[in-house]
């Protein structure tokens, strides 16, 4: 009896969620089909998503190798083979995505997915990151006056958030739901695009979208959102953001809160003071927050700064006392210059010493004529405890601002919503994971890099929806699973779940066309039932009546 044995592992979960979200059908609706091609653009993108979530670290050119031992007819449809996912087909699909508009195509898929999964999209978090790229990147051959030229990203040097200024980069903007961290929108920008310009463009787009929306929308972002250039659109949004420390009123608000000592306690780590402020012509609530954890970090930071300042001051005074000055005032003036630069120290006990200089060389005679009197100055210094303490206290606090009314958003909820900004940061960490297919950025055409970053974000969308679905149902049903150290948890990462599925095989009897799934355990069946949808069918699990 002839047998076919293929590795299924966690790929049934990924394929099942993609099918649940109708991603293939939606993409095929908008991207042109070619009857000569064995797979459609939607199926090609499904394959790229599965490649990315396979964590195999293979570039696009090796996608057929990734699919070589997977049951493609089971995961896709009859007739699909690994060779169909060759670099030519995938490259043409990336070109189609760019021609249609990566941002538009992603928004269509995301909107449909969030509707199907009933995801709360009111609260959104916005942020940007940079993807470093190596090598030379040629320009796409397009008409400079065409719309394509306007939409083409430029791979160039810019401020590197990855601390790799030696590499060219592209900037990626992403906005995600606070409900599960599901990407709602993504857009790629030139490598030297500033965050303030990106946030301004996104704020304008959100304002336009809210005009046709029946539900209120709330935007959460970091301090780059709070800028005078963006005030026009901020006044029309409901937002939460951090006030930049470069704003004078921010430091003043923290100082007043520290002096008043009228804190409201949230928990052992946080306490706050709220003030009504009109800034950038917007009526706001400024929430000055003191953090115990931030104070611990501030103490270490300021201690290092004080030590560095001490070394620099010792060096400056050493060189100063080696100099000679024509008068006392010159010597004191030079010492005062050093004293003004000393932030954490003060100069103590300056000493002036006069040196008489005579005419001629050698040892002066008894009646030698005095040519001039030179002055030497030396001093000691000590720390300024009050200044150091004030610096620590300032760094222990930060200011959040919102224009949302108190009856709509209580003060303590401001901090809770802002802390959920971490969901977009977690998304960026996912996209930059070394095992994810970010290495596929070795492709050279900027238009294809633009499209591939969109595909990568689609992978994050599928991953985050599957993880949200699993966690929500586990909490609702009070179900737990063991983590890496055998501790029962109700909020596992999908990455860990994927690892738990290693070693599941699909066995097909060619003569009878009977398919069996080998390697399922009680834990794996429980997880598949929790994720639900078409994954249950792909793993041949009996549905409970």
| Cβ proximity of 6 and 71 under 8 Å | yes
Q: Is the pLDDT of residue 248 over 90?
A: yes
Is residue 160 very low, low, confident or very high in pLDDT (cuts 50, 70, 90)? confident
Q: What is the pLDDT of residues 403-417, one digit of tens each?
A: 999 999 999 999 999
Q: What is the mean pLDDT of the chain?
A: 89
Rounded Cα distance, 445 and 255, in Å: 52
| CB burial of residue 130 (10 Å; 0-12, 13-18, 19+) | buried
Residue-level pLDDT at 533:
94
Q: What is the mean pLDDT of residues 88-114?
A: 95
Taken in order 430, 434, 437, 442, is the CA torsion positive or negative? positive
Is residue 140 very low, low, confident or very high in pLDDT (cuts 50, 70, 90)? very low
Q: Is the pLDDT of residue 117 over 90?
A: yes
Which has more pLDDT, 321 or 144? 321
Please provide the DSSP assignment of 385-454 as one string: HHHHHHHHHHHTEEEEEE-S-TTTS-HHHHHHHHHTTHHHHHHHHHHT-TTSGGGGGG---HHHHHHHHH
Chain center to CA of 411: 26
Q: Is the pLDDT of residue 17 over 90?
A: yes
Rounded Cα distance, 86 and 333, in Å: 75
pTM for the complete prediction?
Answer: 0.86
Residue-level pLDDT at 137:
54
Which has more pLDDT, 459 or 163? 459
Rounded Cα distance, 301 and 358, in Å: 52
Q: Is the pLDDT of residue 476 over 70?
A: yes
The proportion of the chain whose per-residue pLDDT surpasses 90, expressed as a percent, equals: 67
Q: Is the pLDDT of residue 81 over 50?
A: yes
Q: Write out the two tokens for 214.
A: 């029946």
DSSP E strands in 190-344: the ranges are: 218-221, 238-242, 264-265, 270-279, 282-291
């Amino acid at each position: 009896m002839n047998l076919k044995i293929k590795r299924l592992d966690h790929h049934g979960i990924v394929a099942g969620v993609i099918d649940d979200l109708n991603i293939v059908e939606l993409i095929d609706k908008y991207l042109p089909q070619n009857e000569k091609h064995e797979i459609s653009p939607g199926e090609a993108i499904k394959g790229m998503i599965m490649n990315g979530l396979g964590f195999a670290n293979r570039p696009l050119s090796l996608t057929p190798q990734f699919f070589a031992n997977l049951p493609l007819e089971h995961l896709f449809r009859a007739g699909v083979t690994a060779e169909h996912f060759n670099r030519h087909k995938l490259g043409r699909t990336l070109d189609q995505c760019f021609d249609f508009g990566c941002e538009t195509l992603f928004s269509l898929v995301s909107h449909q997915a969030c509707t199907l999964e009933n995801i709360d999209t009111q609260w959104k978090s916005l942020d940007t990151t940079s993807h470093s790229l190596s090598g030379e990147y040629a320009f796409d051959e397009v008409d400079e006056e065409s719309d394509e030229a306007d939409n083409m990203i430029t791979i160039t040097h810019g401020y590197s958030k990855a601390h790799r200024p030696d590499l060219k980069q592209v900037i990626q903007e992403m906005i995600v739901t606070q409900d599960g961290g599901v990407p709602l929108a993504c857009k790629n920008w030139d490598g030297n695009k500033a965050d303030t310009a990106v946030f301004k463009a996104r704020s304008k787009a959100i304002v336009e979208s809210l005009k046709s929306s029946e539900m209120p929308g709330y935007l959460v972002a970091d301090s780059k959102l709070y800028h005078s250039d963006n005030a026009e659109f901020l006044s029309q949004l409901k937002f939460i953001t951090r006030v930049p420390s470069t704003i004078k009123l921010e430091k003043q608000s923290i100082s007043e809160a520290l002096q008043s000592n009228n804190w409201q306690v949230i928990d052992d780590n946080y306490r706050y003071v709220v003030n009504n402020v009109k800034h950038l012509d917007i009526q706001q609530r400024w929430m000055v927050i003191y953090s115990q954890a931030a104070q611990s970090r501030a103490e270490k930071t300021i201690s290092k700064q004080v030590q560095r300042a001490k070394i620099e001051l010792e060096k400056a005074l050493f060189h100063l006392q080696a100099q000679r000055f024509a008068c006392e005032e010159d010597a004191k003036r030079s010492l005062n210059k050093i004293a003004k630069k000393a932030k954490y120290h003060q100069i103590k006990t300056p000493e002036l010493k006069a040196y008489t200089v005579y005419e001629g060389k050698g040892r002066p005679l008894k009646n030698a004529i005095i040519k001039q009197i030179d002055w030497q100055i030396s001093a000691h210094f000590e720390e300024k405890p009050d200044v150091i303490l004030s610096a620590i206290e300032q760094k222990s606090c930060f200011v959040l601002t919102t224009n949302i009314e108190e009856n709509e958003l209580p003060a303590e909820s401001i901090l809770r919503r802002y802390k959920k900004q971490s969901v977009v940061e977690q998304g960026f960490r996912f996209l930059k994971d070394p095992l994810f297919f970010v290495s596929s950025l070795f492709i050279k055409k900027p238009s294809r890099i633009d499209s591939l970053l969109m595909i990568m974000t689609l992978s994050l969308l599928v991953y985050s929806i599957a993880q949200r679905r699993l966690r929500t149902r586990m909490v609702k049903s009070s179900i737990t699973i063991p983590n890496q150290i055998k501790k029962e948890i109700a909020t596992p990462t999908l990455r860990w779940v994927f690892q738990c599925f290693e070693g599941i095989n699909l066995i097909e009897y060619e003569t009878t066309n009977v398919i069996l799934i080998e390697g399922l355990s009680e834990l794996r069946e429980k997880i598949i039932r929790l994720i639900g949808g078409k994954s249950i069918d792909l793993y041949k699990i009996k549905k409970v009546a």
